[in-house]
Structure 1
């Protein structure tokens, strides 16, 4: 996984840098998809974006709660 740039549906379907969720965001992802699948989900790195999506399928994702 060398290219963190992926399409983000929340950012008008533009390419953004994604990173692994950390802290409370990671806890939310684990609660949503389970520990086994949590490593597949990355968070959009654009300021203000709360999108978390499957690294290999940009259409499989969800938004983090507003405070994360």
Structure 2
């Protein structure tokens, strides 16, 4: 199964592959939105993009710290 295509505001509002965050990125998502909602947030898969957003609402999201780029 391939990763889902979603609109990414950081990538010029174009469709990009999104993946579930893992490792340190997942820790940041959990700290930001809480463990109950963390599963709703996916990370843009485009090289260098730091966007994490709600799977169901692309405008609801945030950027990871620059060290993740």
**Aligned-pair Cα RMSD in Å:** 1.2
Shift of 1:32: 0.2
Q: TM-score, normalised by structure 2?
A: 0.93
| Long gaps (5+) in structure 2 | none
Mapped to 2, the partners of 1:41 and 1:28 lie a distance apart of: 11
Partner secondary structure for residue 59 of structure 1: coil
1:24-43 aligned within 5 A = 24-43=24-43
Shift of 1:27: 0.2
Q: TM-score, normalised by structure 1?
A: 0.95
Mapped to 2, the partners of 1:55 and 1:24 lie a distance apart of: 19
Runs (4+) of structure 1 exceeding 2 A deviation are none
Question: Whose strand proportion is higher, 1 or 2?
Answer: 1
| Long gaps (5+) in structure 1 | none
